[in-house]
Amino acid sequence: MRSYRSKQFDKLLAALPADAQRQAKQAYQQFKKNPRYPGLQFKPIDERNPPTYSARVGAHYRAGAFLMAMRSFGSG
């Protein structure tokens, strides 16, 4: 699985208090290592297109994510 942070995510992250930014960065690193890590509580919150997920970031914040389909391009 590939994971990318959007420009909007980075902008919203910068607006958070320093402690919340640190927790969010730690949670993102944990997610990249193991998206199924129980402490993240990564779960679907909306199944429309694109599916939307939520992950725990500390006691007071959650991060949102969209699941995007990977496209492969064949030759010629």
pLDDT digits (tens, 9 = 90+) for 15-71: 999 999 999 989 888 888 888 889 889 888 888 878 888 888 888 888 888 777 655
pLDDT of amino acid 76: 46
Long-range contacts: 20-26, Cβ < 8 Å, 24+? 20/57, 20/58, 20/60, 20/61, 23/57, 23/58, 23/61, 24/57, 24/58, 24/61, 24/63
pTM for the model: 0.71
pLDDT top residue among 75 and 64: 64
Which residues have CB under 8 Å from 36's CB, separation 6+?
42
pLDDT of amino acid 1: 62
